[in-house]
Amino acid sequence: MSELSRRQFVGTAAAAGVTVAVAGSVEALYTAQPALGTSGPKIGYGPLLKDPDGMLDLPRGFRYEILSREGTVRADGLKTPSRFDGMGAFPDRHGGSRLVRNHECSPTSTIKVVAPPERTYDPGAAGGTSTLVVDRQLNSTKEYVSLGGTAINCSGGITPWRTWLTCEETELKAGESGYTKDHGFIFEVDPYDDRRNRNPFALKEMGRFQHEAVAIDPATGIVYETEDAFVAPLGGFYRFLPNRPRGGWGSLRAGGVLEAMYIPGLPDLSVVQEAGTVFRGVKWLKVPDPLARTESVRSQDYGKQITGGYKLEGCWWGTRDRCVYFVSSFATVELGSKVAHNGQVWRYDPRKHTLRLEVIFKRHEPGTEPEYDSPDNITMSPYGGLMMCEDGLGEQHILGTTEDGEVFKFAKNTVNIGTPEEPEYGELTGVGFSADGRTMFFNVYNPGITYAITGPWRRRR
């Protein structure tokens, strides 16, 4: 999320005295993750204990390892770039993990991504991805830049064939901000074979817009995409029908058709405030110009007003119920939405063509102090429930949900990048789990830190 939009939201929320409550069938979300467990903990993991090193507060029994830090000099002599954002975790052949991490860098970033020319898309851009190799003991054994010359790499998604799709969250064109090429595309990164990452290929037919995240239906190959739009009109929810639906490395380069979601009578998702609300007959309209040559994708003439939402961010595929989930991080009237909320989780069923609001984080009780605000990146815990990265001002947490939908604090970033009088803490990003479910990985955006968390994760009997 951009700093501007985050400050705008939190300023509005603080003035309204926002608190957050969860409403809806959180139990329905547990089907979205493969079996390591089927429900969340009955309660949270207990109070957070103060970290004597002043880095990260966790519940009793949990511990962290720092895998990577911004500014560290790597083996190639270059510094680890700044602005750690979305991240994908992949199983390593030797029992550890491979992490592909986005760097949401612009030309003004503190430490820009520097990649060899053969892995650089646009020499005028400063974003990209790093790949980390982590062994069984959570030692970082290798770290290198796997993609460079891209812009504002925010989030993305893991493909069924175990590659990472990194998304540019921008619509800037060549000639703007020093760029030599248009930006706003998706790029595929191979975490195993870095030779495949040479000559970066922009997946242009998947659309040029402010991408956030993607999720893929493994049965059909359809790619679902969220648009994290900061300004009106609202961002859209899209699907890409690939010409090579069976997948595999490079299959998306064959192109396909991009479509935008359309629900008659529902141009703005924020007006839906009751969890369990279902819309039937969801339709998809072909995007006239996926490259957005003259108008943004969400502003083009579809003949009808496509359905949109403010801050459409997290997106993941439910392997059990074969549905796609996506998140509207928050909405405010001041920034263009019809109704305010602190987050929605939606589920689209491609077989029934239905869209259902599963969870809503409601704003209520004016005059009270907000305990937390603006959940952003969201993943399903292998032990059930949601794990959410908080992205606001002030204290920053990893939040979880119990089997009853109660929100609890799991981790707190305590690295102060402000002053003692006016503390400020970097947002948390890129949360995900190792293949065996024993380790949770996530990042701090600023200063860039990648953590690995282990401890007494609970399963429900």
- Distance (Å, rounded) from C-alpha 197 to C-alpha 143? 15
- Distance (Å, rounded) from C-alpha 190 to C-alpha 111? 23
Where b means 16+ CB within 10 Å and e means fewer, 417-435 reads eeeeeeeebbbbbbbbbbe
Q: Is 119 helix (H, G, I), strand (E, B) or coil?
A: helix
Contacts of 430 (CB under 8 A, 6+ apart): 84, 85, 86, 87, 101, 102, 155, 377, 389, 441, 442, 443, 450
What residue spans define the domains of the chain? 3-454
Instruction: Label residue 321 by pLDDT band (50, 70, 90).
Output: confident
- The pLDDT of residue 1 is 40
The pLDDT of residue 216 is above 50: yes
Neighbours of 117 (CB within 10 A): 10
Give the tens place of pLDDT for each residue, 22-69. 555 444 444 333 333 345 566 789 999 999 999 999 999 999 999 999
- The pLDDT of residue 332 is 83
pTM of the model: 0.91
Give the tens place of pLDDT for each residue, 102-116. 999 999 999 999 999
Q: Which of 249, 116, 124, 110 is nearest to 192 (CA)?
A: 249
Which pair of structure tokens corresponds to residue 443? Answer: 């990042």
Give CATH superfamily name and number for 3-454.
Answer: TolB, C-terminal domain (2.120.10.30)
Contact yes or no for 181/174 (Cβ under 8 A) = yes
CB-based burial of residue 330 (10 Å sphere; 0-12 exposed, 13-18 middle, 19+ buried)?
buried
Give the tens place of pLDDT for each residue, 323-373. 998 988 888 888 788 888 878 889 999 999 999 998 787 765 555 445 555
- Distance (Å, rounded) from C-alpha 92 to C-alpha 332? 42
Radius of gyration of the chain (CA): 20
The pLDDT of residue 98 is above 50: yes
The pLDDT of residue 268 is above 60: yes
Where b means 16+ CB within 10 Å and e means fewer, 50-79 reads eeeeeebbbbeebebbbbbebeeeeeeeee
Chain center to CA of 388: 10
Contact yes or no for 61/133 (Cβ under 8 A) = no
- Give the length of the chain: 461
The runs of H, that is alpha helices, within 309-392 are none
- The pLDDT of residue 7 is 34
Contacts of 180 (CB under 8 A, 6+ apart): 122, 123, 124, 174
Tell me what the mean pLDDT of segment 270-281 comes to.
92
The pLDDT of residue 181 is above 60: yes
Inter-CA distances, 168 with 42, 74, 103, 212, 248, Å: 38, 25, 10, 7, 22
Contact yes or no for 212/326 (Cβ under 8 A) = no
Q: Is 45 helix (H, G, I), strand (E, B) or coil?
A: coil
- Select the more confidently predicted residue: 309 or 390: 309
